Structure 1
Amino acid sequence: MLKIKRLLAGGLAVAAGFAYYMLARFHFAVPCVFRMITGLKCPGCGVIHMLINMAQMNFAGAFAANPVLFILQLVIYYFIGKMYVCWVIDKNCKWNRIENIVLYALIISLIIFGIIRNVKGVVVV
């Protein structure tokens, strides 16, 4: 019974994500709080535009919206998928050594991208 509830919770999360996608597609997106406060773009700025462009098969536009997350999205999906499966089967999953290294490299690359995209004179979307 617990697995069914967790699967339903996951389905609701996907449905909520789809609903937000539909709202964002018609320009009702939630603004980036980090950008509102600091005036700088965070590493995640452009994700909604990237996902909308990918849904429309406009991969050049998706890459332009957020190049780093566009390249790393399969790695991110892997980690999200593994966490979701472990949560559904109620198993305490641990990352192996390679997954830990990849996860730290992912975090470091997003931090570096967040810094570089805000340096004046550097052209990064």
Structure 2
Amino acid sequence: MKYDLKLEELKERRISLRLILMYKVVEGLVPSLPPDKFLKFSKPKRKIKAKTISDHIATNFVNSQVCNNSKGLQIPDSKAIQYRNSFFVDAAIHWNHLPDSVVQKDSVKSFKNALQNYRAS
């Protein structure tokens, strides 16, 4: 049925929804989560591409420190496993992997479309 409807896997849909919420927080569209209180923007650095293998899951330090856009976020220190899997840490890692062409959109709808096109390619 999933293939008939051409749906993403549940894991991919969760990542997309986290990124959409992170876009709203970064742009200040969520009044209860002001970006200056919860987020720290990182300074532009050189771009690092982590080597990836499609069938292997690893916690790679380089992978968590990649920043491919001008609105990159600092990843909070996360020593506890529960905090490492929390929204702001996990979503910030995925956010930093997005290119500028996706992050620089001016509305939520255009961000959703750009995100869908980026993740489909």
TM-score strictly above 0.5: no
Structure with the higher helix share, 1 or 2 = 1
Using the size of structure 2 for normalisation, the TM-score is 0.28
Using the size of structure 1 for normalisation, the TM-score is 0.28
* Structure with larger Rg: 1
